[in-house]
Amino acid sequence: MLLYNFVKTLQFNDVPQQTQDLIKTSLLDIIGVLAGAKNNQTSINICNYAAEHYSALNLSCRLLFDGRKVNPMGAAWAGGFSADSLDAHEGHFTSKGHAGATVIPALLAIADACRDQGRDISGEEFLSAVTIAYETGLRAGVALMDTAAEYHASGAFSGLGVVCGGARLLGLDEETLMHALGIAEYFGPRCPMMRLVDFPSMLRDAHGAGAYAGVNALLMAQAGITGAPAETVESQKIAHCWDDLGQRWEIDAQYFKPWPVCRWAQPSLTAVTAMMAEHPTIAPLNIESIRVETFHESMRLQGHFPANADEAQYGLAFPLAALISRGQVGPNEVTGDAIEAEDILQISRLITITEAQDLSARFPEEILSRVTIQLKEGTCLTSPITQAKGDPETPMTQTEFRAKFRLLANVNFDAQRISDIIQAVDNLDVASDCHELFNQLMNI
């Protein structure tokens, strides 16, 4: 079968260079998100939950940036939730979701469990598994979007990527892989995403649930539990999603976020960043009003006065106000005391958000906004229709990625540890094992 052959034989070093670079960038990006989220309330709560309810027995791995030993299913819950709690991870247009915040924490848990049992995994082998997980997870997402009537959270499909990447690390045969895929899809969380947009909570995009579903399915299939066929993999009506597996790379269509807020808010932040660079007169004390015109889904974000970090990151007005007030949007602007910061709220009160029919008509193929800022001295400035920074057509540079990583990670780690993590990821494809990376990620 094409899928099993892909899982069994793919070698990271044989993947096109552009895609190799994207995989390593994606890995570093998710690690940066996890580093920035280490001490937020969601991460603290979910790590305590995993430590209390998923004790390490036959299988043992460590919680990320925590060090406590748990079962891999608990580590998957915790890692996915933590990565989801700081909304800065990459995403993908045609699946309308994200893979990395599910597959990276889950594969780290599986690989650390292998290490605990005395089996080293080379850096190249781990990157091969990551590549498999991303590519299959995103394709499962496209298949789900093609067949499901409702817009579901990313955890609804990304667990299948965990199964495929985990099957590579665990050396599963084809029959066991197919049962694991069936289990992961059957037990997968079909979460109504727009409900979360309307009522933000720690549940976010269900990455913790997807990571758990994938690891659980692998372990169940290994134990001889059979699974119904995975429709998003085996159904003939979605064959077009899989026919060119290994020839065309779905991950090449990923976008990346400069800021830890909802994807739909990013075009507005991109527009205002450019406006502030061009017009130094845009300053907090000189603004009379701000009008954001955007597509319907983005308009629904609103979020002028968030009650918590979840509402701040699933809002549009508050992070835009933070950008104008403080010149940046990192963890310190959308978590903790910032939620009640008067300098941000003062700007947020000046923002109105309306739907623009021309921009709604171009969604989801294009995610666009335009912003008008009225200054107190009479000048009225309007941005062009703006696409978010970080799209494949508007890529971030490696310098920008490293700056983002440091912005996220430096709220919890010093410069030396940040540099050590970056170096470990940079060198992973030539590392004989993952010890250096894991030493950085699995300790407090």
Say what the pLDDT of residue 149 is: 78
- Strand-pairing partners, residue 270, are none
For 262, half-sphere exposure in the C-beta direction (CA atoms, 13 angstrom radius) is 31
CB 261 within 8 A of CB 315: yes
> Residue 137 pLDDT more than 90?
yes
* Residue 268 CA, distance from chain mean position: 20
> Residue 308 pLDDT more than 70?
yes
Tokens 């059979």 locate to: 226
Task: Tell me the average pLDDT across 218-235.
Answer: 96
DSSP 275-332: HHHH-TT--GGGEEEEEEEE-HHHHTT--SS-SSHHHHHT-SHHHHHHHHHHS--SHH
Task: Tell me the average pLDDT across 47-61.
Answer: 97
Better-scored residue on pLDDT, 262 or 372? 372
What percentage of the chain carries pLDDT values higher than 70? 100
Task: Tell me the average pLDDT across 213-219.
Answer: 98
Task: Tell me the average pLDDT across 317-345.
Answer: 95
Q: What is the pLDDT of residues 383-418, one digit of tens each?
A: 999 999 998 889 999 999 999 999 999 999 999 999
The confidence band for 56, taking pLDDT boundaries of 50, 70 and 90, is very high
DSSP 31-54: HHHHHHHTTSHHHHHHHHHHHHHS
Q: What is the pLDDT of residues 231-281, one digit of tens each?
A: 999 999 999 999 999 999 999 999 999 999 998 999 999 999 999 999 999
CB 409 within 8 A of CB 307: no
Q: Phi first, then psi: what are they for 351, rounded to 5°?
A: -100, 130
What percentage of the chain carries pLDDT values higher than 90? 89
> Residue 55 pLDDT more than 60?
yes
Q: What is the pLDDT of residues 22-40, one digit of tens each?
A: 999 999 999 999 999 999 9
The confidence band for 193, taking pLDDT boundaries of 50, 70 and 90, is confident
Better-scored residue on pLDDT, 194 or 414? 414
Tokens representing 173 are 């045969």
> Residue 197 pLDDT more than 80?
no
Residue type, 363: F
DSSP 133-153: HHHHHHHHHHHHHHH-SS-B-
> Residue 1 pLDDT more than 70?
no
Say what the pLDDT of residue 196 is: 81
The rounded distance, in Å, linking the Cα atoms of 211 and 189 is 10
Burial state string for 46-55 with b = 16 or more CB within 10 A and e = fewer than 16: bbebbbeebe
Q: Are strands 287-294 and 351-355 parallel, antiparallel or unpaired?
A: parallel
Say what the pLDDT of residue 200 is: 85
The rounded distance, in Å, linking the Cα atoms of 38 and 52 is 18
CB 172 within 8 A of CB 222: yes
